[in-house]
């Protein structure tokens, strides 16, 4: 199968600042290189992922790190500004993400899987499904007008591949150096590498890309599953 991102507008909807780097940055980079517009919506503030040696004003630090990574990719960034660990599929956040979708006008949304093990990721999955669907509903009022059609939606792999059954793989072998450089921007999270409640992120990302790549017969891959619903499923 030949995947062509050329005329796409791809929006990743993630809970935390480093999730796109771990789960879909290679695909975003590949889409960008093919001529697509790419965006990342980060829903949480990044205020609670503290290393053992606490970092003052962590949310501002993580915002800078996320901005630096998005700049390497050439992605437009959007912010949800919900405190970490409290993300919920509620009306205000749905409307905020619906408005983000209407501003970016994605043709494809990448989102955390509904079965992800992290509560913020599961909430982001529900929010992404709702907002990317209802952004095309004229009855759902936000500042910007409704889109003519709902974008396609792909569920992303989970961090460490826990409980995710891939539907297909995107070969990101050529974009691993960029994915690594983007993840390296997240210094505050790299500082948590040795903490008992966290993992060394670069190792984890490399191992996952190689494992998914091995399953697909390439050096490095990212895994997804398509969301299937009336008028949202596409033929590629």
Residues 6+ apart with CB under 8 A from 233: 152, 226, 227
Residues 30-89 that bind Zn ion (CB under 5 A): none
Residue number with CB closer to Zn ion (21 or 171): 21
Please report how close the Cβ of residue 8 comes to Zn ion at its closest, in angstroms: 24
Under rule CB under 5 A, how many of the chain's residues touch Zn ion? 3
Binding mask 13-32 for Zn ion (x = CB under 5 A): --xx--x-------------
Closest residue by beta carbon to Zn ion = 16
Give the residue with the Cβ less far from Zn ion, 87 or 101.
87
Rounded to the nearest 10 degrees, how much is the dihedral formed by the CA atoms of 66, 114, 212, 108?
Answer: -60
Residues 42, 71: contact at Cβ < 8 Å? no
CB of 128 to Zn ion, least distance (A): 13
For residue 14, the minimal CB distance to Zn ion (Å) is: 7
Query: Between residues 14 and 178, which has the closer beta carbon with respect to Zn ion?
Result: 14
CB atoms within 10 A of CB 180: 16
Number of neighbouring beta carbons within 10 Å of residue 65: 23
Our finding on whether 147 is near Zn ion (CB under 5 A) is: no
For tokens 């990317």, name the residue.
Answer: 132
Question: 3-state DSSP call for residue 16?
Answer: coil
Nearer to Zn ion, 19 or 157 (CB): 19
The DSSP bridge pattern shows strands 9-14 and 108-112 to be parallel
Q: Which helix (H) or strand (E) holds 134?
A: helix 119-134
Nearest to 128 by CA among 32, 50, 11: 11
Structure tokens at 106: 């994605």
Least distance in Å: CB of 172 to Zn ion?
A: 19
Cβ of residue 158: shortest distance to Zn ion, in angstroms? Answer: 10
Candidate ranges 12-20, 83-91, 171-179, 212-220; the one touching Zn ion (CB under 5 A): 12-20
Residue 62 or residue 102: which is nearer to Zn ion going by CB?
62
The site for Zn ion (CB under 5 A) is made up of 15-16, 19
């Amino acid at each position: 199968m030949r995947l062509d991102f050329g005329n796409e507008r791809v929006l990743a909807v993630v809970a935390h600042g480093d999730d796109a780097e771990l789960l879909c940055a290679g695909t975003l980079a590949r889409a960008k290189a093919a001529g697509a517009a790419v965006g990342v919506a980060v829903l949480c503030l990044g205020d609670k992922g503290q290393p053992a040696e606490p970092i003052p004003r962590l949310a501002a630090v993580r915002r800078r790190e996320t901005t630096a990574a998005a700049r390497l990719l050439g992605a437009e960034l959007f912010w949800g500004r919900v405190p970490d660990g409290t993300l919920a599929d509620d009306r205000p956040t749905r409307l905020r993400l619906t408005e983000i979708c209407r501003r970016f006008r994605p043709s494809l949304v990448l989102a955390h899987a509904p079965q992800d093990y992290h509560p913020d990721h599961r909430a982001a999955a529900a929010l992404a499904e709702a907002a990317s669907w209802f952004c095309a509903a004229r009855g759902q009022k936000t500042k910007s007008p409704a889109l003519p059609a709902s974008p396609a939606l792909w569920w992303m792999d989970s961090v460490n591949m826990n409980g995710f059954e891939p539907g297909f793989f995107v070969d990101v072998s050529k974009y691993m150096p960029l994915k690594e450089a983007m993840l390296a921007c997240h210094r505050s999270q790299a500082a948590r590498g040795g903490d008992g409640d966290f993992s060394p992120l670069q190792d984890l990302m490399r191992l996952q890309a190689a494992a998914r790549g091995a399953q697909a017969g390439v050096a490095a891959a990212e895994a997804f599953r398509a969301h299937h619903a009336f008028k949202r499923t596409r033929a590629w």
